């Protein structure tokens, strides 16, 4: 009788322990292997893809590059960019590619508060992406870059202006604020590196009207956005340094000459609406060189 009671007590306690262990496992952060460059990481409101660098030991903290695809593209297209994949892998960076939401039938894009085609508050969504990334992977929080192309580049402008997650640097490519352009940003001063083609006809530097006649939208003027960041960063009286960087001519408002110690870079090239993977690599190297506190 005593042995039977002991066995029942042991079985009861074992069941309780196993139940607690199951609960702990279910509430633990998901393993990095749960999603990848092909298998989406699912979060509230959407998903993203993630590629770890080749040879990563699975535990060392990783700098992060989040790259937003352009209109009518996808997160998978970002992951399929072999040049970017190679360059960021060699830099030992974690590449994150969030998936846009459908604005027009079959067309993926991005939206922000106030945009008339909004289906999802993507500023809030991208904040959730980075929270989830930090739970799945060991992130080097002092070295994070947000970049994107075209409409994804515009989304980066708004993320820098309105997002709660603070990236070390922001590198929009061929995008801009949209009218009405914000005159101030709740996020405060930021490190900005913008790349644009002076022959870009899809997103001209002076902007253009797009959309239907009944619901037109106007792209903003790139230099208006740069002026906003000059003011926010305390760089109005700081003359830029001119730097020839490959096929680009860059004007750099150095952090040491701006009252907030943040940096602005405007890089222009002669061509049109496109991007190169090595531009993202260059932006990553720029971000890695920024002073962080």
Structural domain includes residue 293: no
In a domain, 20, yes or no: no
- In a domain, residue 207? The reply is yes
Kindly state whether residue 24 falls inside one of the protein's structural domains: no
How many structural domains are present in the chain?
1
Spatial neighbors of 100 by CB under 8 A, at least 6 apart, are 68, 69, 73, 74, 75, 108, 109, 110, 122, 151, 152
Q: Cis peptide before 180, with omega less than 30 degrees from 0?
A: yes
Residue 49: domain span = 32-288
Tens-digit pLDDT string for the chain (293 aa): 544 554 554 455 545 444 444 443 344 444 444 799 999 999 999 999 999 999 999 999 999 999 999 999 999 999 999 999 999 999 999 999 999 997 666 789 898 877 755 578 999 999 999 999 999 999 999 999 999 999 999 999 999 999 998 999 999 999 999 999 998 999 999 999 999 999 999 999 999 998 777 777 899 999 999 999 999 999 988 889 999 988 899 999 999 999 999 999 999 999 999 999 899 999 999 999 998 76
Q: What angle do CA 85, 197, 279 make, to 5 degrees?
A: 20
Prediction pTM value: 0.87
pLDDT confidence of residue 105: 65
Q: What is the pLDDT of residue 27?
A: 43
pLDDT of residue 13: 54
Has residue 27 been placed in a domain?
A: no
Q: What pLDDT is stored for residue 252 in this prediction?
A: 96
Q: Which residues are CB-neighbours of 219 under 8 A, at least 6 positions away?
A: 154, 176, 178, 179, 203, 204, 207, 208, 209, 210
- Is residue 87 one of the residues assigned to a domain? yes
CATH of the domain at 98: 3.40.50.1820
pLDDT of residue 25: 39
Strands (E), the chain: 41-43, 46-51, 62-68, 94-98, 101-104, 107-109, 139-149, 169-173, 192-197, 209-211, 216-218, 241-245, 248-253, 264-269
Using CA atoms, how far apart are residues 61 and 67, in angstroms rounded to an integer? Answer: 19
How far apart are alpha carbons 53 and 75 in whole angstroms? 17
- Kindly give the residue spans of alpha helices, DSSP state H, lying in 28-121: 75-79, 82-90
Residue 231 resides in a domain: yes
Residue 183's pLDDT is what? 86
Any domain includes 1: no
């Amino acid at each position: 009788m005593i042995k039977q009671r002991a066995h029942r007590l042991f079985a009861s306690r074992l069941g309780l322990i196993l139940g607690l262990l199951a609960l702990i496992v279910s509430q633990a952060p998901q393993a990095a292997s749960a999603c990848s460059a092909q298998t989406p990481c699912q979060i509230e409101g959407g998903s993203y893809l993630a590629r770890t660098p080749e040879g990563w030991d699975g535990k060392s903290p990783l700098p992060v590059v989040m790259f937003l695809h352009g209109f009518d593209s996808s997160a998978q297209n970002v992951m399929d960019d072999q040049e970017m994949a190679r360059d960021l892998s060699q830099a030992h960076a974690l590449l994150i590619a969030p998936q846009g939401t459908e604005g027009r039938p079959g067309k993926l894009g991005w939206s922000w508060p106030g945009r008339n085609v909004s289906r999802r508050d993507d500023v809030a969504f991208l904040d959730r992406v980075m929270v989830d990334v930090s739970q799945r992977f060991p992130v080097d929080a002092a070295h994070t870059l947000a970049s994107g192309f075209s409409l994804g580049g515009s989304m980066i402008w708004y993320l820098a202006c309105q997002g709660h997650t603070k990236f070390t640097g922001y590198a929009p490519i061929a995008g801009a604020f949209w009218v009405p352009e914000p005159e101030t940003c709740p996020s405060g001063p930021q490190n900005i590196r913008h790349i644009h083609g002076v022959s870009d006809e899809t997103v001209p530097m002076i902007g253009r009207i797009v959309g239907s006649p009944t619901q037109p939208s106007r792209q903003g003027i790139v230099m208006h956005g740069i002026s906003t960041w000059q003011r926010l960063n305390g760089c109005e009286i700081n003359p830029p340094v001119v730097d020839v960087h490959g096929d680009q001519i860059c004007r750099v408002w150095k952090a040491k000459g701006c009252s907030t110690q943040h940096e602005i870079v405007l890089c222009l090239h002669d061509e049109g609406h496109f991007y190169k993977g090595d531009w993202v690599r260059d932006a990553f190297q720029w971000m890695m060189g920024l002073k962080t506190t």
